[in-house]
């Protein structure tokens, strides 16, 4: 199901120390994208606090990077008690990179991580008018329900296998290598 990413972008997990890059990405979202991501208007202070919550136990954020700059993100957040089998997925993609397969690539990674963590139910909440999110959920056969003015798409994750665990480990290794290369490139640009 993988589509080529635009502009040679790279998808990888964010490190907890990259909360500032995540915050900067969320702050760059245009008003409509910010509203659809958070289901309404939120302050810059709220975004700062939210971005730093990537350090919380169980939270995984995948980022879409172009030339070392975070341009899109997909979050996997556990829902309910510790070690629950339910999680929520949320996405934020800057306007210029929307409708280019970034959301699909991020959701593929989230589904793999969900599967490997025993998540059985992945919720994707969105406003009723958020057609992009609904189309993305449909690609992965989500069941939709209406919930107080929002649409909830639920995707049931498959059980993990040795192959799914190996695939995530390989993607993580690629992400680490990409991250190190980005850091080296930034050093060379400064010099």
CATH number at residue 138: 3.40.630.30
- Tell me the β-bridge partners of 117: none
Q: Which of 36-45, 120-129, 155-164 has the lowest mean pLDDT?
A: 120-129
**91-129 as b/e, with b when 16 or more CB fall inside 10 Å?**
bbbbeebeebbbbbbbbbbbbbbbbbbebeebbbbbbee
Within a domain: 107 = yes
Reported pTM: 0.82
Within a domain: 122 = yes
Residue 72, pLDDT score: 96
Residue 1, pLDDT score: 45
With 0-12 / 13-18 / 19 or more C-beta atoms within 10 angstroms meaning exposed / middle / buried, residue 22 is: buried
For residues 12 and 174, the answer to whether their CB atoms sit within 8 Å is yes
How far apart are alpha carbons 91 and 81 in whole angstroms?
23
Closest CA to 76 of 49, 50, 58, 93: 58
pLDDT tens for residues 94-133? 999 888 889 889 988 998 998 899 888 888 777 667 777 7
Within a domain: 2 = no
Domain carrying residue 101: 7-190
Q: How many domains does one find in the chain?
A: 1
**For residues 145-171, average pLDDT:** 78
Closest CA to 171 of 75, 79, 105: 105
Within a domain: 59 = yes
Within a domain: 77 = yes
Within a domain: 89 = yes
């Amino acid at each position: 199901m993988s589509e080529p990413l635009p502009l040679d972008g790279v998808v990888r997990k964010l490190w907890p120390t990259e909360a500032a890059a995540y915050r900067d990405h969320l702050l760059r979202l245009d008003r409509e994208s910010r509203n659809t991501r958070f289901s309404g208007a939120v302050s810059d202070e709220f975004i700062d606090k939210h971005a730093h919550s990537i350090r919380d136990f169980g939270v995984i954020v995948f980022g879409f990077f172009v030339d070392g700059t975070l341009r899109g993100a997909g979050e996997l957040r556990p829902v309910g008690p510790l070690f629950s089998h339910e999680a929520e997925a949320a996405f934020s993609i800057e306007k210029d990179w929307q409708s280019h397969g970034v959301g699909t690539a991020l959701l593929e990674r989230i589904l793999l991580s969900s599967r490997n963590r025993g998540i059985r139910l992945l919720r994707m909440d969105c406003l009723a008018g958020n057609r992009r999110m609904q189309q993305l959920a449909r690609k992965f056969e989500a069941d939709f329900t209406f919930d107080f003015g929002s649409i909830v798409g639920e995707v049931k994750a498959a059980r993990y296998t040795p192959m799914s665990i190996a695939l995530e480990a390989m993607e993580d290794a690629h992400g680490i290598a990409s991250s190190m290369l980005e850091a080296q490139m930034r050093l060379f640009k400064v010099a």
